[in-house]
Structure 1
Amino acid sequence: MPELLQVEKLSAGYGEAVVLNDVSFAIGQGQTLALLGRNGTGKTTLINTLAGATRRHAGSISLGGIALHKLPSHERAGAGIGWVPQERNIFKSLTVHENLSAVARPGPWTAERVYQMFPRLAERKNNLGTQLSGGEQQMLAVGRALVVNPKLLLLDEPLEGLAPIIVAELLKAIHRITSEEGLAAIIVEQHPQAILRISHRAVVLDRGTVVHSGSAHELLAAPELLDRLLGVAR
Structure 2
Amino acid sequence: MELLRIENLSAGYGEAVVLQGVSLALDPGKTMALLGRNGTGKTTLINTLAGATRQHGGSITLAGKALHKLPSHERAAAGIGWVPQERNIFKSLTVHENLTAVARPGKWTSDGVYTMFPRLAERKGNLGTQLSGGEQQMLAVGRALVLNPKLLLLDEPLEGLAPIIVEELLRAIRRITREEGLSAIIVEQHPQAILAISDSAVVLDRGTVVHAGTAQQLRDQPHLLEQHLGVAR
Interval of TM-score (by shorter of Structure 1 and Structure 2): over 0.9
How many angstroms does 1:137 deviate by?
A: 0.3
3-state DSSP class of the match of 1:135?
Answer: helix
Correspondence 1:1-234 to 2 at 5 A: 2-233=1-232
What's the TM-score, normalizing by structure 2? 0.99
Q: Secondary structure at the match of 1:225?
A: helix
Q: Report the Cα distance in structure 1 between the residues aligned to 2:33 and 2:107, rounded to whole angstroms.
A: 25
Give the counterpart letter for 1:93 in structure 2: S
- Superposed CA deviations along residues 38-92 of structure 1, whole A, max 9, x for unmatched, are 0000000000000000111111000000001011111001100000000001011
2-structure distance, mates of 1:122, 1:29: 30
CA distance in 1: counterparts of 2:23 and 2:219, whole angstroms:
22
Runs of 5+ unmatched residues, structure 1? none
CA distance in 1, matches of 2:159, 2:200: 21
Shift in Å, 1:130: 0.8
Distance 1:8 1:80 in 2: 19
Secondary structure (helix, strand or coil) at the match of 2:228 reads helix
Equivalents in 1 of 2:25, 2:202: separation in Å?
Answer: 10
In the aligned structure 2, how far is the partner of 1:147 from the partner of 1:160?
22
CA shift at 1:3, angstroms? Answer: 1.1
Secondary structure of residue in 2 paired with 1:8: strand
Deviation at 1:25, TM superposition (A): 0.5
Calculate the aligned-residue CA RMSD, in Å: 0.7
SS at match of 1:161: coil
Q: Secondary structure at the match of 1:169?
A: helix
Where does structure 1 differ by over 4 angstroms across 4 or more consecutive aligned residues? none
Q: Which amino acid aligns with 1:186?
A: I
**C-alpha separation in 2, matches of 1:43 and 1:196:** 16
**SS of residue paired to 2:212:** strand
What is the letter of the counterpart of residue 206 of structure 1? D
In structure 2, the residue corresponding to 1:58 is in which secondary structure? strand
For these two proteins, the number of residue pairs brought into alignment is 233
SS class of match (2:3): strand
What CA distance in whole angstroms lies between the structure 2 residues aligned with 1:180 and 1:150?
16
In the aligned structure 2, how far is the partner of 1:5 from the partner of 1:174?
A: 19
Letter in 1 for 2:201: A
Give the C-alpha shift of residue 233 in structure 1: 1.4
CA deviation profile, 1:145-175 (whole Å, cap 9, x unmatched): 0000000000000000001111111111111
What is the TM-score normalised by the length of structure 1?
0.98
Identity of aligned residues (%): 81
